[in-house]
Amino acid sequence: MVTSARVAPGTRRFYLLLSLITLGGLAVRFLYAWRYKWDQGVWGDAFFYHYQANGLAEGEGFMRWIPAGEGQVKIEGASADHPPLFPLYLAAWSLVGLDTFRQHMVASILLGAATVFVVGLAGRTIAGDRVGLVAAGIAAVYANLWVHDALVMSETITILLVAVMVLLAYRFWRAPTLGNGAWLGLVSGLGALTRAEVVLYLPLAFVPLALLARSLDLRRRIRIIVVAGLTAGLVMAPWVLRNMTAFEHRLFLSGGAEITLASANCDITYYGELLGWWSPHCVQDALREDGLHVDQGGPGFPPGDASEQARYWREKAFGYIGDHTGRLPVVAMARLGRVWELYHPGQKVDFDMIEGRTRGAAQLALAQYYLLVGFAVAGVVVLRRNRIPLLPLLSLVAIVSLTVLIAFGNTRYRAPAEIAIVLLAAVGVDALVRRARGEPVVTTGGRPEEPGDEGPGGEEEQIGVGAGVRPGRLAGVVPDEPERIGPPSSG
């Protein structure tokens, strides 16, 4: 029985270095914002998030705010264009008087810095201290992570929650308990309240991971899956119920997907230079064809509430898709090629600038992406050889691919998968360092415990122990007299 515990010296060093790296990541984000984005205009999705947050703080509820000319804004009905969590986060700042766009930018930057810290924890859980620190270092400087923060875009909070989901997924793999599954369900539900497609993480990553937890009988595995799903559902339920009852027709997590479909399915995006991309002309031309108003500064809206507008755009999109099914394979390949930087990457730098990136940031992000992908491929090999599951990471690649096949090949739609790229690249870098030093190219991972290895606490107490990992390592403490632990079983 352990009567006392002390913080391991290695653990103190890890958290000290991780904190310093996190501060470095915060500095990178703030300097970019201060140097290049401090005086940017409030437009696009950032306009929506900023003004809706201030409206929430003033008790207006989830309303659609639109420009009214001469720097004025107005409300145009209830909104379900985007999931609610990011504006709610910004609204918390507005409630205490921090309601300017610059202050919301700082709030967003702090989320980005938190991502650096969580990525370090996830890397450590996957493959040890060095991988954790390398992953945090990459996250601190990787432009495809920090560029969203100064733009005040929901990708910032999505990336943070995805990093937490990956951390919890690997903790569940090492200790497949009901509590760990419930926590993952909770954070997955929160993630879906930032970007709807994130909810796919549960069926694509968590369910297979739970079903493969051989230390548990099948009934217990099913119970954990059900609890995780119910927890995620309970988190999303208030927003979904509001959307199902507040409008003429039912909406679920958001009504923004339909206009995205419409803007990505027309002649301009099926042929020519914008193949696989989107264009405002898609929706503007649809409105003109029906004799509806088109705003000079934007596409305009069809009549009706958010649900009726969503139905209008859905019919336009599916109508065009149905008339051009023969072109879909080409368009689908172009969308995938764009999001994974295989099709006209130089052109997409210009497209990224349309969404607010500076040219330098877009070019840096592209160069870093190509470098990291090479190391990430090596990381896949290393984890596979060490029998560490890849599903918590590769499922993010699948989610992004499914998203862009439906929508279009936008760089920021790749945001969830950037976490997988960073963590896998860190494993690859660690393998290169080990090889250069003549160390075995192995990780501190390994398989979780087999049945019968549970501690005296039963299901809630068990924890998988990999090669060279002492009990309590993942919690940051070691017993005063640690047990001698052998290598993981090969059975």
Q: What DSSP string runs through 18-78?
A: HHHHHHHHHHHHHHHIIIIITT----HHHHHHHHHHHHHHTT--SEEEEEEETTEEEEEEE
Given a cut of 50, whether residue 341 has pLDDT beyond it is yes
Q: Are 284 and 298 in contact (CB under 8 A)?
A: no
Buried b / exposed e over 425-454, threshold 16 CB at 10 Å, is: bbbbbbbeebeeeeeeebbbbbbbbeeeeb
Tokens 């996190």 belong to 22
Supply the pLDDT for residue 43. 87
State the angle between helix axes of 143-151 and 415-436 in degrees (0 to 180), rounded to the nearest 10.
Answer: 150
The predicted model gives 48-68 an average pLDDT of: 92
Q: Which one, of 235, 231, 252, lies nearest residue 243 by Cα?
A: 252
Instruction: Summarize the chain as % helix, strand, coil (round to 5).
Output: 65, 5, 30
- The helix (H) or strand (E) run that includes residue 6 is strand 5-7
Please state, in angstroms and rounded to a whole number, the distance separating the CA atoms of residues 422 and 373. 9
Residue 395 pLDDT class (50, 70, 90 cuts): very high
Q: For the chain, what is the domain count?
A: 1
Residue 457 lies inside a defined structural domain of this protein: no
Residue 186 lies inside a defined structural domain of this protein: yes
Three-state DSSP state, 169:
helix
Please state, in angstroms and rounded to a whole number, the distance separating the CA atoms of residues 252 and 208. 26
Burial class (CB in 10 A: 0-12, 13-18, 19+), 247: buried
Q: Are 347 and 338 in contact (CB under 8 A)?
A: no
The predicted model gives 443-460 an average pLDDT of: 42
Residue 73 lies inside a defined structural domain of this protein: yes
Supply the pLDDT for residue 299. 55
Residue that wins the pLDDT comparison between 299 and 57: 57
- Half-sphere exposure (Cβ direction) of 120: Cα atoms closer than 13 Å: 25
Residue 291 lies inside a defined structural domain of this protein: no
Least confident of 154-158, 229-233, 352-356: 352-356
Given a cut of 60, whether residue 467 has pLDDT beyond it is no
Residue that wins the pLDDT comparison between 107 and 437: 107
Burial class (CB in 10 A: 0-12, 13-18, 19+), 156: buried
Q: Which one, of 107, 102, 147, lies nearest residue 364 by Cα?
A: 147
Cβ count within 10 A of residue 318: 14
Q: What phi, psi does 53 have (nearest 5°)?
A: -60, -45
Please state, in angstroms and rounded to a whole number, the distance separating the CA atoms of residues 309 and 161. 30
Say which amino acid occupies 443: T
Supply the pLDDT for residue 294. 65
Supply the pLDDT for residue 295. 62
Mean confidence (pLDDT) of the chain:
87
Given a cut of 80, whether residue 141 has pLDDT beyond it is yes
CA 477 to each of CA 53, 85, 122, 401, 445: distance values in angstroms, whole numbers, following the listed order = 41, 34, 17, 40, 18
DSSP secondary structure of 423-439? HHHHHHHHHHHHHHTT-
Least confident of 71-80, 257-266, 440-449: 440-449
Residue 491 pLDDT class (50, 70, 90 cuts): very low
Residue 263 pLDDT class (50, 70, 90 cuts): very high
Residue 54 lies inside a defined structural domain of this protein: yes
pLDDT tens readout for residues 317-329: 999 999 999 999 9
Given a cut of 80, whether residue 118 has pLDDT beyond it is yes
Buried b / exposed e over 254-285, threshold 16 CB at 10 Å, is: bbbbbbbbbbbbbebbbeeebbbbbbebbbbb
Residue 56 pLDDT class (50, 70, 90 cuts): very high
Q: Which one, of 34, 39, 76, lies nearest residue 55 by Cα?
A: 76
Tokens 């122990």 belong to 465
Percent of the chain residues topping a pLDDT of 90? 75
Residue 114 pLDDT class (50, 70, 90 cuts): very high
Please state, in angstroms and rounded to a whole number, the distance separating the CA atoms of residues 467 and 488. 6
**Residue-number span of the structural domain to which 116 is assigned:** 8-250+339-436
Residue 417 lies inside a defined structural domain of this protein: yes
Residue 451 lies inside a defined structural domain of this protein: no
Residue 23 lies inside a defined structural domain of this protein: yes
Supply the pLDDT for residue 438. 84
Given a cut of 50, whether residue 145 has pLDDT beyond it is yes
Q: How many residues does the chain have?
A: 491
The predicted model gives 308-317 an average pLDDT of: 94
Residue 449 pLDDT class (50, 70, 90 cuts): very low
Q: What phi, psi does 86 have (nearest 5°)?
A: -65, -50
